[in-house]
Amino acid sequence: MIRAAFFAFLLLPAFCSGQTYFLTGDATFLGGDCYQLTPEIGNSVGTVWYGEQIDLDSIFDLQFLMNFGVLDATGADGICFVLQTVGTEATGVTGGGLGYMDFGTSLGIEFDTWQNAEYGDPEYDHIAIEMNGEINHLTDLGNLSDFVQANIDNANVEDGEDHIVRIKWNPENTTLEVYFDCEFRIAAEVDLKNTIFSGNNLVYWGFTAATGGSVNLQTVCLQENVVTLEQEVNICEGESATLTSWDSSDGTYVWTPATYLDDATIQSPIATPPATMNYSVTFLDACGVETQLSYEVIVAESYSADAGEDVVITCDDDVQTLNAESDGGDALFSWSLDGDPIAGAHSALYNAAQAGTYTVTVSNPSGGCGSSDDVVVATDLSAPVIIIGEQDSLSCANPSVMLQDITITSVHDYDFLWLGVDAASPGNLTPVVTEPGEYVLTATDVETGCTTQAFTYVDVEGNYQADFSSLVFPNILTANDDAKNSEWKPFLGANPGFNLSGAFKTYTVSIYNRWGNLVFETANYSSAWRGKESAPGVYFYVVQYETYCQSTLPGTATGSIELVK
């Protein structure tokens, strides 16, 4: 006959090819889907637990291989199949406890290979169904069935052979059945969910085993997708999935339909359907029973990803908003920078503040299918380079100067602006200025917005403030050493304290007495007439001069001086 049932697909494993198991105690992984529960060492205990809980509201049909070792008369103690709610770290008592005794809320199917008279064990290797960690057949506390001989034809199963074990559960009629070496051996009618597990439908399942004074190397081997007979596989458009059947006793497999399978006659064909398809495989199981497994290969749409055009971070745009697009209206987005995921970046928009290669990954929430695209964020902080040389000084001869020796170089076009210059000149690279002080030139790259500033200084010469229109020639000289009017020289009426020594290009002073005799003469402005050796009275001066400020307008001044002593 053909067997079929419904189940949910199992995730890939941590420890073997088909599913995830957790080991405790002395249990070890042998490879494939096989586990050693106990070594040939006394007082050892080992457990193997399936990573996902099984649903007691659904049918399950488990098949696996048990090996109880090669020691018969001195071999012990056996293996238990267990349902429990403690978790994947649960373990029990060694020796006759089979690693199951004292478990509490649980169901155990014992495959006992040692006669413990204190527990009412028979002479033959036997099977019994029990609950809540109770293994004593002399009480009714936990026994859900009488014990039976494990192998219908042989009292001993410690023969080094792999024994086929099958456990079936049907929640509709609350029947639990146990098969050993392809023969029905024992059953119990019990509401597992409500009677044992207080209404909990999800429980852990696995195996326990133990040794005591006597030992055996005890193992269990499972198949891929051991829990169920129907599998749901999710792939993306254009991808493939490997569909794996249980082992066939004669090596024959018939997959239907054969469409989009690379080989419909092998155990693990590769399916590449363009859309969701249902497959089934028919084969003879380890007991020669024709069995059918079903597979639904769900093909999810792959959403496109478009990260947009490459962008550049500049001084004007120091943050660039990346805007990804997809053809999936419910698409999920995530961003990474140079291969590293960006925490919290799960929107189509992302504000990029540093350079690098940004990758947007777009996925379909139904199946996770999608694609990715890159966008490069570059940085261009190019700014003009300004070089300014030394400037001329202001003087009375040059009351204004043109700023000069200015060079601006830039990768791109640029704008510039002078600060501090006359309002009419800010757009002129070489403006004319009339005031001393600091001038600031700012140049801005028109593409990046990056700016550079350079400074220059305009100084003044000593004669800068000489205004010869206010030149005054004194008419009195006091030669009495009172430090007042004690030397005769011209000065600026608008700025009497200004030193004119550097303002004259030529300068000659002649002093005459009233008889026309020359009493003093100098060509040096700093050498002034003091009149100490002259008699009081009226004297006359003749000054001929030419200034730097008025070099084309030589002047001559004459007048009288009253010398007082």
Q: Which residues of 407-437 are buried (b: 16+ CB within 10 A; e: fewer)?
A: ebebeeebebebeebeeeeeeeeebebeeee
Burial 130-139 (b: 16+ CB within 10 A, else e): bbebbbbbee
Per-residue model confidence (pLDDT) at position 428: 86
Site of tokens 């009233």: 514
Q: Which pLDDT value is given to residue 69?
A: 97
Please check the confidence at residue 462 and state whether its pLDDT lies above 80: no
pLDDT at 75: 93
Could you give the CA distance from residue 455 to residue 458 in angstroms, rounded to a whole number?
Answer: 10
Q: What is the DSSP string of 428-487?
A: -SS-EE-S-EEEEEEEEETTT--EEEEEEEE-B-TTTT--GGGEE--SEEE-SSSSSS-S
How many of the other CB atoms lie within 10 Å of CB of 205? 19
Q: What is the pLDDT of residues 58-105, one digit of tens each?
A: 999 899 999 999 999 999 999 999 999 999 999 888 999 999 998 889
- Please give the CATH number for the structural domain made up of 21-221: 2.60.120.200
Q: Name which CATH class applies to 311-379.
A: mainly beta
Q: Which of the pair, 139 or 109, is modelled with greater confidence? A: 109
- Per the prediction, the chain carries an average pLDDT of 90
Residues whose CB falls within 8 Å of the CB of residue 516, separated by 6 or more in sequence, listed in order:
none
Position 170 pLDDT exceeds 70: yes
Which class in CATH covers the domain with range 468-564?
mainly beta
Mean pLDDT for 208-217 is: 96
Question: With contact defined as beta carbons under 8 Å apart, do 14 and 239 qualify?
Answer: no
The pTM assigned to this predicted structure is 0.56
Query: What integer is the mean pLDDT of 215-230?
Result: 82
